[in-house]
Amino acid sequence: MPGRNLGADAHHRGGRPETPRPDTGPQGFCESCGSPTGGDAEALRAGESRFRAAFSDVGIGMLLIGTDNLVIEGNPAFAAMLGRESADLPGMHVRDIVDPEESSGRRYRELVRGERERMSAEKRLKHRGGHEVWGRVTASLIRDGRGAPHCTLVTVEDITEQRRLGDRLAYQALHDPLTRLPNRTAFYERLESAFKPGDQDRPGAGEEPRVGLCYVDLDGFAAINETLGHHVGDQLLVAVAARLERGFAHQDGRLVARLGGDEFAVLVTASDGDRQLTDLAAELMEALERPFEVAGHRLTVTASIGVVERPVHGSTPTDLVRDADSTLYWSKSDGRARWTLYDRDRGADQLTRHLLATALRPAVERGEFLVEYQPLVGLADGTVHGTEALVRWRHPRLGLLSPDRFIPIAEESGAIVPLGKWVLEESCRQTRRWLDEFPDAEAFVSVNLAARQIWDSDVVADVAEVLARTGLPARLLQLEITESDLLGPGGRPLQALQALADMGVRIAIDDFGTGYSNLAYLSRLPVHTLKLDATFVEAFREATPGADGRRAADEQIVGAVVQLAHALGLTVTAEGIENAAQVERLRLTGCDTAQGWYYARPGAPEAITAILRDQRR
């Protein structure tokens, strides 16, 4: 090992006159390195000159330092690192060679005292011309014949380039190249550390450590990008970043970061309450209000800000960011150019919606839904003509959920498409069974269809396929569409309705009377049935008509609607029938079918089977 041998070299020759010559071991070997100390002088000299040559020629820096911290000898490679000649080195003090630094300084002192054998550290070297030079320094202790520390052999590898590259990579990893602000990674690092227990008892953090976040998103940035080009958009981001950095970054416990796109965050890691954060949000809005001069344009932007502030305890970085994100969304949906403080109730509601939304599709695949059926009863003869299929979700944790809880969410997320298809198939299959068992009843099924199913899927093909697969004749399928969905923009739903009607499927307008549709217009659509909304039949609750003025009016409206519908060739179904009086009065208006708790609540298919069986007798 060259180090050892060079050590031996130092023992026997001595670099300088004042270097103490170590005693050689009693057995004629150097105790520290095992080299022969007496005996074969020839071999020794040969070895010595080989090592000397190695010492001066090797590319790595090497030096011997006495226990007095003065250099005994250094090789040319090391001298070059310092911009010196090797002859300059002997006698120099260690602190003239490397920057002193606490932890490695302590370890070096231990080494010199003989308390450790080896140490290494990355040290900044003192270059004669002041250049930055970094070395990976490894020092090994060399003991004298009695085992006492004699000197250290130090090797130094020049790692300046590696350091520079490393620094650049570290900088790049934590900064956004466009704005030079800390990036998302840096933001999360700081956020995580704010949630670490050790960080919480920083002075000034108060009794209970808290953290706050302003999540900033520019309003209408996409429009600027589109109309003025990405180049201008980029420059605007740079200008916004610079203003945020200047105004808000230079305070303890604050980090201004760009999270991506036109999203910025101001993190406050030792906040003292809501108020501090909402004040900050207001200042941020104000700071961004002044126009930006960018590439010859004077641009005015506003921002939406989500503000969250809370104790660190009981929360996580993920919760904080998620809630800030929701809150930002509230700011946007409440009209932009504003900040909003997180509200737990609003958040909880949204969280449930979110959980349901993400659970919906897998739940369809797992078969967590079921269909209940509610009879549609002919008012003239009191028999069941058909059923409405009403879906329910048997949620593993929340129990049986009614469609009002999840249909709107499914429509929003698009999960209504697979779900609706499943309901369609399930109810057609069941209705086909009833047809097999009770062919004379000819009971049809009425299935609700969401607008999104018409827009986002090939509903015509789906229906044809389901009818073919289940063997249900098209005339026994009715599809319910709400008034508002019918009058959507564009022609596609109408084409789809026409195609469905052409197939022989009946179309019903659900919740009729809650929208503003014009009956005469409806008659031009391929519609067969109006389902009068339950609020209408309220009027028919009492046996005596017109118990008060409003009811009398409603009753007349219902009568008129039924007459007009009939004139236009439509049948009418009344929803929400809860008592016998309503049945009687509705029958007098000429209404065709009725549906409601009075007859039966929605229930399992067996309940319908029982009714159909009774009817046959």
Binding site for ligand C2E (CB under 6 A): 374, 390-391, 402-404, 407, 420, 423, 448, 450, 480, 510-511, 534, 575-578, 595-597, 602
Check: CB of residue 305 under 8 Å from CB of residue 196: no
Q: Taking CB within 5 to 8 Å according to partner kind, which of ligand C2E, Mg ion, none is near residue 597?
A: ligand C2E
Q: Which is nearer to Mg ion, 372 or 511 (CB)?
A: 511
Q: Taking CB within 5 to 8 Å according to partner kind, which of Mg ion, ligand C2E, none is near residue 426?
A: none
In the complex, the smallest distance separating the C-beta of residue 416 from ligand C2E, rounded to whole angstroms, is 6
- Is beta strand 71-74 parallel, antiparallel or unpaired with respect to 61-66? antiparallel
Angle value at C-alpha 550, between 549 and 551, nearest 5 degrees: 95
Which single residue is written with the structure tokens 């090939």? 458
Q: Which is nearer to ligand C2E, 255 or 530 (CB)?
A: 530
The neighbour count for residue 546, using CB atoms within 10 Å, is 14
Q: Taking CB within 5 to 8 Å according to partner kind, which of Mg ion, ligand C2E, none is near residue 423?
A: ligand C2E
CA dihedral 262, 263, 264, 267 (to 10 degrees): 180
In the complex, the smallest distance separating the C-beta of residue 434 from ligand C2E, rounded to whole angstroms, is 18
In the complex, the smallest distance separating the C-beta of residue 279 from ligand C2E, rounded to whole angstroms, is 45
**Given CA atoms 491, 497, 502, 507 in this order, what sign does their dihedral have?**
negative
Helix, strand, coil content of the chain in percent (nearest 5)? 45, 25, 30
Q: Taking CB within 5 to 8 Å according to partner kind, which of Mg ion, ligand C2E, none is near residue 374?
A: ligand C2E
Q: Taking CB within 5 to 8 Å according to partner kind, which of ligand C2E, Mg ion, none is near residue 3?
A: none
Q: Taking CB within 5 to 8 Å according to partner kind, which of Mg ion, ligand C2E, none is near residue 174?
A: none
Rounded Cα distance between 288 and 286, Å, is: 5
In the complex, the smallest distance separating the C-beta of residue 402 from ligand C2E, rounded to whole angstroms, is 4
576 Cβ contact partners less than 8 Å away, ≥ 6 residues apart: 533, 534, 535, 537, 538, 595, 596, 597
The structure tokens listed for 582 are 């309503």
Q: Taking CB within 5 to 8 Å according to partner kind, which of ligand C2E, Mg ion, none is near residue 483?
A: none
Q: Which is nearer to ligand C2E, 135 or 602 (CB)?
A: 602
Q: Which is nearer to ligand C2E, 157 or 465 (CB)?
A: 465
The neighbour count for residue 344, using CB atoms within 10 Å, is 10
**Given CA atoms 318, 320, 323, 329 in this order, what sign does their dihedral have?**
negative
37 Cβ contact partners less than 8 Å away, ≥ 6 residues apart: 11, 12, 24, 25, 28, 29, 30
Q: Which is nearer to ligand C2E, 262 or 511 (CB)?
A: 511
Q: Which is nearer to ligand C2E, 219 or 485 (CB)?
A: 485
In the complex, the smallest distance separating the C-beta of residue 533 from ligand C2E, rounded to whole angstroms, is 8
In the complex, the smallest distance separating the C-beta of residue 390 from Mg ion, rounded to whole angstroms, is 7
Instruction: Give me the phi and psi of 310, to 5 degrees please.
Output: -165, 165
In the complex, the smallest distance separating the C-beta of residue 420 from ligand C2E, rounded to whole angstroms, is 5
Q: Write out the DSSP string of 410-470.
A: HHHHSTHHHHHHHHHHHHHHHHHHHHHH-TTT--EEEEE--HHHHHHS-HHHHHHHHHHHH
Q: Taking CB within 5 to 8 Å according to partner kind, which of ligand C2E, Mg ion, none is near residue 356?
A: none
Q: Which is nearer to ligand C2E, 87 or 400 (CB)?
A: 400
Q: Which is nearer to ligand C2E, 276 or 514 (CB)?
A: 514
In the complex, the smallest distance separating the C-beta of residue 408 from ligand C2E, rounded to whole angstroms, is 9
Q: Taking CB within 5 to 8 Å according to partner kind, which of ligand C2E, Mg ion, none is near residue 537?
A: none
In the complex, the smallest distance separating the C-beta of residue 507 from ligand C2E, rounded to whole angstroms, is 14
| DSSP 8-state assignment for residue 43 | H
Q: Taking CB within 5 to 8 Å according to partner kind, which of ligand C2E, Mg ion, none is near residue 321?
A: none
447 Cβ contact partners less than 8 Å away, ≥ 6 residues apart: 388, 389, 423, 424, 427, 428, 477, 478, 479, 480
In the complex, the smallest distance separating the C-beta of residue 517 from ligand C2E, rounded to whole angstroms, is 16
- Residues lying near Mg ion in the complex (CB under 5 A) are found at 448, 480, 510-511, 575
Of 463, 370, 386, which Cα lies nearest the Cα of 424?
463
Q: Which is nearer to ligand C2E, 576 or 590 (CB)?
A: 576
Q: Which is nearer to ligand C2E, 241 or 391 (CB)?
A: 391
Q: Taking CB within 5 to 8 Å according to partner kind, which of Mg ion, ligand C2E, none is near residue 404?
A: ligand C2E
3-class state of residue 500 by DSSP: helix
In the complex, the smallest distance separating the C-beta of residue 344 from ligand C2E, rounded to whole angstroms, is 28
Q: Which is nearer to ligand C2E, 16 or 601 (CB)?
A: 601
